Amino acid sequence: MFKLNYGDLVTVYIDEKRRYVVRLQPGKILGTDKGFIKHDDIVGKSYGESIHTSQGYKAYLLNPLLADHQYSIERVTQIIYPKDASYMIYLSSIGPGSKVLEAGVGSGYLTISLANFVGENGVVYGYDINEEHLEKARENLARTGLLDRVVLCKGDVRKELKHRDLDAVFLDLPDPWNALNSIYKVLKPAHPVLIYVPTINQVEKTVIGMKRSGLFIDIHIYELLMREYEVEEGATKPRTFMVGHTGYIVFGRKII
C-alpha cells in the first residue's frame, strides 16, 4: 500500500468546515483551530488512515480531489465553483490530450480542473491581463503539481492571438462579447466556447454578440442551482441555507 512521503499532496480532513490540502515537508506544521499536526507524523501513513491533532481531534488523510482545492487555494478573485466548472468542462467534451485556452485565469481554480482533465499530453493556455493574478495562479498550480500542463500568458484575449486549432475556449471575463472574434480564430471548427458571467446583463450582451456575429451556433444559456440535503432517519430535508447564485454559463459552437 502506498505510503505518504515528503513531497506528496494530502487532504487533511477534520470535519465539514476543516479540510486542508498540504504538500508534506520535513519539519512543517499544519495549524488549525482544532490543534496542530506535524507533517512528519503524516509521513509513513496511507491515504484513508487517520491521525490525531494536538487537541485530540481525528483527522483523515485523503487523496486530494479537485473540489478540495477550492478550500485551500489562495484567492485573488472569485472562483468558478465546482457545480459550474464541472458543467462547463462536460459540455466542452475535452479529455486527455486536449488543447484549451482559458481567460482570465484569476486564482487558477478552473485552470487546475482543466489541467486535470487534459492530462499530461494536453495543454491549458491560461491568459490574464493581471500580473498579480498570474503569479497567484502559478503558485496555486505549482502546489497542486499541475503547472507543467499549463502555459500561463500575460495578455488580452480580446486581441489577436497566435494559437490555432484549440479544442475549447473557456472565458471568465467582464466583457466576453469583445473577445468573440479573437477566440473564434483560435478554435477548431465546430468546437465549443464556454463563457461564465455573473450578471444577466452580461448574458444578454454575450448572446446577442454571438448571434449577430454569425460565428457560433447551438447557443445555450444555463444556470445551475445546487441544493444540499441533511439526512437523519425519518427527518431528511434540504439544508436551510444555500448559495442562490454564482453565475450563468453561455455555450456556443464555432461554424464556418
Interacting positions 64-123 with its own copies (CB under 8 A): 64-67, 82-83, 85-87, 89-93, 95-97, 113, 116-122
Cβ of residue 100: shortest distance to its own copies, in angstroms? Answer: 14
108 vs 55: CA distance, rounded Å: 34
> For residues 19 and 39, which CB has a smaller minimum distance to its own copies in the complex?
19
- Residue labelled with grid coordinates 450578471: 199
Centre a 10 Å sphere on the Cβ of residue 11 and count the other Cβ atoms it contains: 21
> For residues 135 and 222, which CB has a smaller minimum distance to its own copies in the complex?
222
With 0-12 / 13-18 / 19 or more C-beta atoms within 10 angstroms meaning exposed / middle / buried, residue 101 is buried
> For residues 109 and 153, which CB has a smaller minimum distance to its own copies in the complex?
109
Q: Assess contact for 250 and 223: CB atoms under 8 A.
A: no
> For residues 19 and 134, which CB has a smaller minimum distance to its own copies in the complex?
19
Interaction residues for its own copies, span 126-185 (CB under 8 A) = none
> For residues 135 and 223, which CB has a smaller minimum distance to its own copies in the complex?
223
**SS3 category, 135:** helix
Cβ of residue 59: shortest distance to its own copies, in angstroms? Answer: 11
Interaction residues for its own copies, span 204-243 (CB under 8 A) = 204, 207-208, 217-218, 220-231, 233-243
Q: Assess contact for 138 and 112: CB atoms under 8 A.
A: no
Task: Give start and end residues of each alpha helix (H) in 93-199.
Answer: 109-118, 131-144, 180-186
Q: What are phi and psi of 249, to 5 degrees?
A: -115, 125
Cβ of residue 131: shortest distance to its own copies, in angstroms? Answer: 26
Amino acid at 202: Q
C-alpha grid cell, residue 82: 465546482
Cβ of residue 72: shortest distance to its own copies, in angstroms? Answer: 14
Cβ of residue 55: shortest distance to its own copies, in angstroms? Answer: 19
Cβ of residue 135: shortest distance to its own copies, in angstroms? Answer: 26
Q: Assess contact for 136 and 107: CB atoms under 8 A.
A: yes
Cβ of residue 151: shortest distance to its own copies, in angstroms? Answer: 18
Using the rule CB under 8 A, is 192 a contact of its own copies?
yes
Strand 168-171 to strand 99-103: parallel, antiparallel, or no bridges (unpaired)?
parallel
From residue 11 to residue 50, the character string flagging contacts with its own copies as x (rule: CB under 8 A) and all else as - is --x-----x--------------------------xxxxx
